[in-house]
Amino acid sequence: MPTIISVAEVTPPFEVNQNQASEFARELFSDSFKDIERLLRAFQNGQIEKRHFVKNIDWFKEDKTLEEKNTAYIESAVELGREAIEKCLYNSDFLTREIPYQEIDAIFFISTTGMATPSIEARIMNLLPFLPHTKRVPIWGLGCAGGAAGLSRAREYCLAFPKAKVLVLSVELCSLTFQRNDLSKSNFIGTSLFADGVACALVCGDDSNYCEYRKKKTSPFIIATQSTLMPDSLDVMGWDIKSNGLYVVFSRDIPHIIENWLKPNVTEFLVENHVELETINYFIAHPGGKKVIDAYVKSLEIPPSMTKVSLDVLKQFGNMSSATILFVLKRFMEKEIPKGAYGLGTALGPGFSSELHLMRWR
């Protein structure tokens, strides 16, 4: 089975703590909401402590055109994406040697926060010495589920081509979608939650000789995956695309939907793979927000301790859309996890949809 060998993350240069973000929101929204002080509690109740952005906070106080925001997206995505690939292939925490760019068979590029044609991975390939025949698979529009979906598609590629080494590169610059004049509660909550982040994972096939360069004694093999789309749920999460950019759609019902929908979905997946939920040792969950994490615990009836890593990532980085689950995965891969342990990966995205992984350390 394909295995994840290395994961690297990159945080953009501007750090904003939650108090700064709260003051920014007070200044922006105070004339629109009579209950602004009550709403501002979301900034603290969400338990996020700080986030990272590609621009300083003053940049967002002035109106920006879609062209200005998307140009900033392309410039930062190329710079930070290149850095994430370099760190992933030269990662001494997970690798005994550097992996040459020429050994990479395919790049799955994941994003939902900007647009580029040629796509970002093509631009990066002009800066790094990948072979010109490297396959490119840009995937757009899966939102928070995108990083997990990228791992699923990489697994399928490595099953088809067992000698392959594949990169999954996730670049999400959520801040650049910010709409200063969108006075909706969805935008208000988004302002309290979303952040920028970039991550890259190396997935290797069975015949890629990964044991020669894998540093850890064990690594997570992706045994099975499942993609699920909830019918008639298009208005739960996503973008409204308008003349001046992307406007966030974010239903207040998301935690409630998770509570009722996730467990049957997970149970069906695990039964199909002859594994019981009680057998799962590690829960590798995309932390959509504190209420989403609480809904995971309630729906799956798991101990809150199983979501600690996800909550820690949320506190330190906020919700970085598709990149967030790779940040969570990296922290599990840094642990010395015993052979045979099971992990369940999960991420939820627009549609409304879910991506599940069954992993086992070998």
Q: How far is CA 347 from the centre of its chain?
A: 8
Short-list 132, 138, 135, CA closest to 115: 138
Q: How far is CA 4 from the centre of its chain?
A: 16
Question: Which residue is catalytic, options 88, 144, 158, 204?
Answer: 144
- Residue environment code for 303-333, b if the CB has 16+ CB neighbours within 10 A, otherwise e: eeebbebbbebbbebbbbbbbbbbbbbbbbb
144 included as an active-site residue: yes
Helix pair angle (185-193, 18-29), 10° resolution: 160
Q: What residues form DSSP beta bridges with 343?
A: 282, 359
∠ CA 154-264-201, nearest 5°, is 20
The SS3 assignment for 287 reads coil
CA distance to 49, 140, 198, 249, 350, per residue, from 175 (Å): 16, 17, 13, 15, 18
Residue 280 near residue 344, CB atoms below 8 Å: yes
> Who contacts 299 (Cβ-Cβ below 8 Å, separation ≥6)?
258, 259, 260, 261, 262, 263
Q: Which residues are catalytic?
A: 144
